[in-house]
Structure 1
Amino acid sequence: MPRFAANLTMMYTEHAFLDRFAAAAKDGFKAVEFLFPYEYPVVEIKARLADNGLTQALFNTPPGDWADGERGIASLPGREQEFRRGIDTALEYATAIGNKKLHVMAGLIAVGQPRDKHRAVYLDNLDYAAKAARSHGITIVIEPINTRDIPGFFLNRQDDAQAVCGEVGAPNLQVQFDIYHCQIVEGDVSVKLKRDMARPNAGIGHIQIAGVPERHEPSIGELNYPYLFQLIDTLGYDGWIGCEYRPKAGTSEGLDWLSPYLPT
């Protein structure tokens, strides 16, 4: 049976952020994820998780200047020290709240910039992040993101992400397989899930879902998610599946799709 984590950055936005934990638990979620916790004291996040019986499935390491349009700094030359400080901060939060997976965003690359140089920085930074996280029992994940939602994002395809993980060679570096992004960029989702779940040295560390193309509930759009959920179960994935979508109307009102997967 698949296990779902509510993404509190995109879901329950009708509530203040710290109130979204209780709203998700009330609807039957047992885990949550979100982009960034850093504007809130770690004790506040920890208390909301504990009070509502929730597991923290995932959050992102600091992304640079998000408000100014940055979308990660892991592949940006000259930002290495800032990246390392961000890893330290993320690990402080993760260890305090019991979070076991951290998403590192690659960042943007403009047309004409040296891709090889960005890739070398990316590999070095991921090696640092994975080594720093390993002693805490934490896995680093990287995510291919479509360039329609984030133009210029450095990492776009599943096979490229798997190649990066293989080259770094860290046992706690894996790919975050976002089905929404994969369908937009390359499709053939089922075949890629089967291929990458079977990889011995990298594989899939986290899965996220959303309807395609509007990024609403997984029951809306061109993908047959009940089939994909059954396939994911068959492949032996036992991690959380992050619901990183924008509800078409109210969050709770759009959760009919979740009912078959809640414990009875």
Structure 2
Amino acid sequence: MPRLAANLSMLFNEHDFLDRFAAASEAGFKGVEYLFPYAYAPKILREKLDDAGLEQVLFNLPPGDWEVGERGLASLPGREAEFRDSVIEALRYAEALNCPQLHAMAGLLSESANSEAYKAHQETYVKNLRFAAAEAAKIDCKVLIEPINIRDMPNYFLSHQAHAMEVLTAVGADNLYLQFDLYHCQIMDGDLTHHMERQFSSIGHVQIAGVPKRNEPDVGEVNFISLLKRLKELGYQGWVGCEYRPVGETIKGLGWINKLNIDFN
């Protein structure tokens, strides 16, 4: 059965960030992911992982200026040099943390973008992902792309599964994969089982959350038990990231794991 990784950007927010590693371990998780590691030295994060007996599963490349609303650099024309620098920085962390995969956020289109602007974003995206994949391959690391719903992230360049598959084909890198987030896919495309089956060979990482409010996976319209069962039948060997916002205290909301009827350790 897929292994569950706690997303420390969302779970265990009752604790300061560096204390969430121990909290996740105490709750039974063996892996963690989060948005960004760059506020801390790699040595500090490595110590937290080792002390808690955790594996680093995933984090994102630097996204640009997050505080002013930037959400990635990979598709932004004119920012190629900054993107290349972000790849090198992310790989420095990935090597120190023994992290096997990195998510390259696509970035935002302007609200007034026309077809020419879209074409420029697409060409930049493909070019940048080729660079990122080639650099990541040097340390046997995967690069992931993730369609993100435009309700939570308006104007995000990559929002549909079909577009992601087109990009994977255009880039043509053996270590470029799909980050398949059931929450985002349900909002934008639906038909989750079909997408999972059709795209399975391209899936490098899976994330789950309840729809529509992004709370615990057993709250809302998605039958996550059925989906994880099908994922197992397909032979998925990777991690499933728990990227949701707990309704209350994280620990009190973890009862959904028991519904899987598995030993997720």
State the shift of 1:229 in Å. 0.7
Matched position secondary structure for 2:204: strand
Give the % identical residues.
51
Residue matched to 2:85: 85
Tell me the equivalent position of 1:70.
70
Aligned residue number for residue 262 of structure 1: 263
List 4+ stretches of structure 1 deviating above 4 A: none
Q: In 2, distance between residues paired with 1:26 and 1:164?
A: 39
Give CA deviations for 1:111-152 in whole Å, capped at 9, x if unaligned: 332100010000000000000000100000000000000000
Does structure 1 residue 226 correspond to structure 2 residue 225?
yes
Query: How far apart are the structure 1 equivalents of 2:57 and 2:216?
Result: 19
**Residue 167 of structure 2: aligned partner:** 164
Q: State the distance in 2 between where 1:168 and 1:225 align.
A: 31
Structure 1 unmatched runs, 5+: none
Are 2:184 and 1:181 aligned? Answer: yes
In the other structure, the counterpart of 2:36 is 36
Counting matched residue pairs gives: 260
CA distance in 1, matches of 2:263, 2:247: 21
Distance 1:176 1:117 in 2: 23
Does the 8 Å contact 1:2/1:261 carry over to 2?
no
Does residue 20 in structure 1 map to residue 57 in structure 2? no
Give the Cα–Cα distance (whole angstroms) in 1 for the partners of residues 21 and 165 of structure 2: 33
Residue deviations 1:20-51 (CA, integer Å, cap 9, x gap): 00000001000000000000010110011111
Within 1, Cα distance between the matches of 2:264 and 2:163?
37
Secondary structure of 1:77's counterpart equals coil
Q: Tell me, yes or no, if the aligned pair for 1:209 and 1:218 is still in contact at 8 Å.
A: yes
Instruction: Indicate if the aligned counterparts of 1:28 and 1:262 stay in contact, CA closer than 8 A.
Output: no
TM-score, normalized by length of structure 2?
Answer: 0.96
Distance in 2 (alpha carbons) for counterparts of 1:125 and 1:50: 33
Q: Which amino acid aligns with 1:196?
A: Q
Between the aligned partners of 2:203 and 2:264, the Cα distance in structure 1 is 25
Are the aligned partners of 1:3 and 1:261 in contact in 2 as well (CA < 8 Å)? Answer: no
**RMSD of Structure 2 on Structure 1 (CA):** 0.9
- Matching of residues 6-155 of structure 1 within 5 Å: 6-113=6-113, 114-155=117-158
Secondary structure in structure 1 of the residue aligned to 2:212: coil
Once the two structures are TM-superposed, the CA of residue 159 in structure 1 deviates from its matched residue by 1.4
**Cα displacement (A) at 1:263:** 5.0
Is 2:238 the partner of 1:239?
Answer: yes
Distance of 1:207 and 1:159 partners within structure 2 = 17
2:204 matched residue in structure 1:
205
Amino acid paired to 1:55: E
CA change 1:170–1:18 in 2 (3 A) is same
Q: Matched residue of 2:153: which SS?
A: coil
1 CA distance for matches of 2:210 and 2:83?
32
Taking the aligned partners of 2:263 and 2:206, their CA distance within structure 1 comes to 18
TM-score by length of 1: 0.97
